[in-house]
Structure 1
Amino acid sequence: MHDVMSVFALCVVVLFVKMLAISCYQGFYRISRMTFKNAEDAGFVGRQASPEELPQVSRAAQAWANDLENIPLFFVLGALCLVFNPPAALTVGLMVVFTAARVAHTLCFLARWQPWRTIAYAVAIVCLLGLAAMVTMGAVRHL
């Protein structure tokens, strides 16, 4: 159980750092190009607001939005797995593969690599389904 909890905690930290990196990526492009869509941000550096976001910033925002559709589900399912104590090796495997797939998805999204982005997305979804199945079995077992 402690091994699973440790792996889950490390996966959460990796996913946090990955999402933070997306924010830094957006900030890097805005600052390096001195291009800001919000008037108060542009005015802070003595510029006029840009009518639209930089393409890199928009792309990163899409990656962020996709993360918000998947990563919170991992947090919940992973925590529930800790409650129901499913097979450790399978749980750890699904958690690690999910995390690696989400990192790969972001890299592929930003680099515009298809079909790798879709493959990474699908792998992560399969992992979520596996975690959901283990939670379901654990819940039924404890009825």
Structure 2
Amino acid sequence: MATLMEDDVFRAFTTYAAIVIVKMVLMGPLTAYYRITRGSFANLEDVARKSADEQKKLLRTHPDVERVRRCHLNDLENIVPFLGIALLYTLTGPDLSCALLHFRVFAGSRIFHTISYVGALPQPCRGLSYLTGATVTLSMAYRVLSTVLVL
């Protein structure tokens, strides 16, 4: 592991992987914040100390909570594949500047995606940020496949 951390591209990968993972992990507390502030809970045990009438009011969905949840799901659908492809991409020996461009654009696109999703910014903000991240992942996948594909 020590020799891997001496490789600049691998260090860049670990840096940006950590950034997008932390961003994704923070979506859990953000969901909890929205649940508490909007009074919208999913499970009976979350409101067990409340009266029956209050439980009926609190066991419901709220558009803001669902928006954050969908954003979190979108992160899972995009960040997890990025991590796998980016690791394989790192192993193909790309130039540091090219790797940094891929990693930075992906991380930036996911952060902007969250801002545009949770903040309900008008389209095409969210769509473009999603497409940008997906294009980066596909670009790295192309590099991996073109490097190792044996026909």
Q: TM-score w.r.t. structure 2 length?
A: 0.83
% identity of equivalent residues: 28
Unaligned runs of at least 5 residues, structure 1:
none
Partner-residue secondary structure (3-state), 2:94? coil
Kindly report the root-mean-square deviation, in angstroms, between the aligned alpha carbons of the 2 structures. Answer: 2.0
2:89 to 77, 81, 84: 81
Q: Which residue of 2 aligns with 1:53?
A: 61
2:27 to 10, 19, 22: 22
Whether the aligned pair in 2 keeps the contact of 1:101 and 1:123 (CA below 8 Å) is yes
In the TM superposition, 1:83-102 aligns within 5 A as: 83-102=91-110
The structure with more radius of gyration = 2
Unaligned runs of at least 5 residues, structure 2:
1-5
Structure 1 CA distance for aligned equivalents of residues 124 and 40 of structure 2 = 31
Structure 2 residue 149 is matched with structure 1 residue 122: no
Structure 2 CA distance for aligned equivalents of residues 138 and 109 of structure 1 = 35
1:5-57 Cα shifts (integer Å, max 9, x gaps): 11111111111221122211111122234432210011156651534222221
Partner-residue secondary structure (3-state), 1:8? helix
1:66 to 74, 80, 83: 74
Cα 1:84–1:53, aligned 2, differ >3 Å: closer, same or farther? same
Q: TM-score w.r.t. structure 1 length?
A: 0.88
1:51-78 Cα shifts (integer Å, max 9, x gaps): 4222221101111111121111111111
Structure 1 CA distance for aligned equivalents of residues 87 and 30 of structure 2 = 29
